[in-house]
A and B are shown apart, each in its own frame.
Chain A
Amino acid sequence: MPQLSLVDRVGTGALGWFESVGAVSTFGARAVVEAARPPYEIREIIRHIYQFGYRSAPLILTAGFAIGVVLSMHTRASLARFGAEAMIPAGLAIALIRETGPLTAGLLVSGRVGAGIGAEIGAMKVTEQIDALEVTGVDSFKYLAVTRIIALMIVMPFLTIMMDFSGIFGGYVAEAAVSGMSWQLYFERAFTYIDYSDIIPATLKTIVFGYLIAVASSYLGFTTSRGTEGVGEASTRSVVMSSMLIILSDVVLVKIIFFFYPAVSG
């Protein structure tokens, strides 16, 4: 086989990348269209809400608490230089609610749920279970992908709120250990500078994260080949692709939030 030049290899790689982006986009757009058509597979959606939400809660709560503690320690070290320790609760709450909570929740869910979706659908693909669904007269795309996408879009804002509050609680525990501040005072100071425009857009943007995680992971599951090796690869690539999509989309979403809520950027 003739050796490809560097330009050819880069070109082939770029074309492959654009082809994948196109395929994932088509997959995601088809999911939106199919979601509006009956049957709505409510039972499956509820089952996935339980799987994704309830089962992710311990991870989210633990991670949120730890992040709150760490952020509080860092914030104290920074603000103490300026004698502004009283601002620690507000600073931490703003950081958590506006960005750290939603982004971290998205990345954690992409690791726990995204990998699971990729592996589960991938395993169904290589063991002919998707074909078995089709011959049973069930639309496998709708039954497996659309239900997961809807469930994760529903679950993400709730997990984000959990992350925010466990983080604030973690921050309080760290602060109370150092300064003995009461919960009531901490909570009051934390929410002094917080407005609905801080909470609502930042929390709702995670609906987009949920959509992206589920679309990317389902797509990789459906396109799995090469047996168990392919399943492992689908799982890993689900995490990588959905994490990248979350981070990239966050840039755009923050810009959109700033556009519609100028006060948030202030």
Chain B
Amino acid sequence: MSAVRFDRVSKAFGALKVLDDVSFEIPTGQAFCLLGRSGTGKSVTLRHIVGLVRPDSGNVFVEKQDITKLAGRELADVRKHMGFLFQTAALFDSMTVGDNVSFPMERHTDWSSADIRERAMKKLADVGLEKDFDKMPGDLSGGMKKRAGLARAMALDPAILLVDEPSAGLDPITAAEIDDLLVKTKQGGTTLVVVTHNIPSARMIGDTFAVLHEGRMLASGTIETLDASQEPLVQTFMHSTGGG
């Protein structure tokens, strides 16, 4: 069964065509890494999955539901099954770290305040931030913000976790810590969709891969398939060791 399916999706912003007839399928419980240079439409693809961007043509299915046809409460209901770790973490800066993680639970469950606090503390402990519950996001480092963002994205134990550039702007050690957390998340049964141009990180997390270039799917498949690709750009990509 597929967790996410793109069916001939195209999207343009004005004259700029960002996605051009893109199709792919992500099986449930697998980690799918979307690779490509900056500005090739990776983040836009991710935003299509969660309904933040609508395609000009084509369909996006999330757990069999066509998200392009949903709005309002129906869309919100589908989104409850997804977590999103933004590139900048996007923590709500008017709330403490603990309140950020508690927020999805407060909105979508009828758990008691004590229960929510306990669960939020547990989620923060999973990412090593249990001591930072009462801190404001502005007091955290970049890596800590990313981890807090991951704790918030995982607050409702989503079936699908979308991750935008998990290692962007982080030092190699912190980036490896985030990768470890994502691998653990995958092992817990969550479907991962990771956008990255960090190949070592993708090799560690991913089960299946796709390379986007100028809005088109250049190659897709397992790591072996991509390593064997004769496409020069895919070759360059797969043999790169740089992160960030």
Does the CB pair B90–A136 fall under 8 Å? no
Interface check B104, CB cutoff 8 A = yes
* Contact pick for A134, options B52, B87, B88, B92, CB 8 Å: B52
Q: Is the CB of A129 within 8 A of B77?
A: no
| Contact assessment for B76 and A131 in the assembled complex, using a CB-CB cutoff below 8 Å | no
Q: Are A137 and B88 in contact (CB under 8 A)?
A: no
- In this complex, the member of A120, A129, A135, A137 whose beta carbon has the largest number of chain B beta carbons within 10 angstroms is A135
Of B76, B90, B92, the residue contacting A137 (CB under 8 A) is: B76
Chain B residue at smallest Cβ distance from A138? B107
- Among B34-42, B78-86, B229-237, which stretch is in contact with chain A? B78-86
Which residue of A is nearest B83, CB measured? A135
Interface residues on A, range: 10 to 19
Q: Does B93 contact A (CB under 8 A)?
A: yes
Query: Is A139 part of the contact surface with B, judged by Cβ < 8 Å?
Result: yes
The answer to whether A132 has its CB under 8 Å from any CB of chain B is yes
Interfacial residues of chain A within 124-170, with CB under 8 A of chain B in the complex: 124, 127-129, 131-139
How many angstroms from the CA of A19 to the CA of B90 in the assembled complex? 31
Residue of B with least CB distance to A39: B107
Interface: B211 (CB within 8 A): no
Interface contact A135-B107, CB-CB below 8 Å = no
Q: How far is the CB of B201 from chain A (nearest CB, A)?
A: 21
Residue total for B at the interface (Cβ-Cβ under 8 A)? 23
A136 contacts across to B, CB distance below 8 A: 79, 103-104, 107
Nearest B residue to A133, CB-CB: B92
On whether A137 and B80 interact (CB within 8 A), knowing A129-B92, A132-B92, the answer reads yes
B50 within 8 A of A: yes
CB atoms of A137 and B86 under 8 A apart: no
Q: Is the Cβ of A135 less than 8 Å from the Cβ of B52?
A: yes
A120 to B52 alpha-carbon distance, docked (Å): 21
Q: Given A136-B79, A137-B76, A137-B80: A131 and B107 within 8 A (CB)?
A: no
Kindly provide the distance from the CB of A216 to the nearest chain B CB, expressed in whole angstroms.
21
C-alpha spacing A36/B123, complex, angstroms? 36
Task: Check A135–B92 contact: CB distance below 8 A.
Answer: no
- What mask results when residues 183 to 202 of chain A are scored 1 for a CB within 8 Å of chain B, else 0? 00000000000000000000
Chain B 190-208 against A: per-residue CB contact (8 Å), 1 yes, 0 no?
A: 0000000000000000000
Contact A135 B93 (CB under 8 A): no
Find out whether the CB atom of B76 lies under 8 angstroms from the CB atom of A129.
Answer: no
At the interface, yes or no: B239 with Cβ under 8 Å from chain A?
no
* Cβ B76 vs Cβ A139 within 8 A: yes
- The interface residues of chain B lying within 8 Å CB-to-CB of A131 are 47, 52, 84, 86, 90
- Which chain B residues lie closer than 8 Å to A137 at the CB level? 76-77, 79-80, 104, 107-108
B37-67 to A contact mask, C-beta < 8 Å, 1/0:
0000000000100101000000000000000
Q: How far is the CB of B189 from chain A (nearest CB, A)?
A: 20
- Asked if B79 and A128 sit within 8 Å, CB to CB, the answer is no
Chain A residues engaging chain B, CB cutoff 8 angstroms: 120, 123-124, 127-129, 131-139
Residue contacts A-B, CB under 8 angstroms, 19 given: A123-B93, A124-B92, A127-B90, A128-B86, A128-B87, A128-B90, A129-B90, A131-B84, A132-B90, A132-B92, A133-B92, A134-B50, A134-B79, A136-B79, A136-B107, A137-B77, A137-B79, A137-B104, A138-B76
The 5 closest A-B pairs by CB, nearest first: A137-B76, A132-B90, A128-B90, A135-B84, A137-B79
